[in-house]
Amino acid sequence: MRLTTKGRYAVTAMLDLAIHAQQGPVSLNDISGRQGISLSYLEQLFAKLRRSELVASVRGPGGGYRLNRAPELLNVADIVDAVNESIDATRCNRRGNCQDGHECLTHHLWCDLSEQIHGFLAGITLASLIEREEVRATAERQNQLRHNRIAALESHDEIA
pLDDT digits (tens, 9 = 90+) for 56-69: 999 988 899 999 99
pLDDT digits (tens, 9 = 90+) for 8-57: 999 999 999 999 999 999 999 999 999 999 999 999 999 999 999 999 99
Q: In order of start, what are the domains of the chain with their CATH numbers?
A: 5-85 (1.10.10.10), 86-124 (no CATH)
CB-CB neighbours of 77 under 10 Å: 19
CB-CB neighbours of 52 under 10 Å: 15
Residues of 100-123 as b/e, b for ≥16 C-beta within 10 angstroms?
A: eeeebeebeebbebbeebbeebee
pLDDT digits (tens, 9 = 90+) for 135-151: 999 999 999 998 888 88
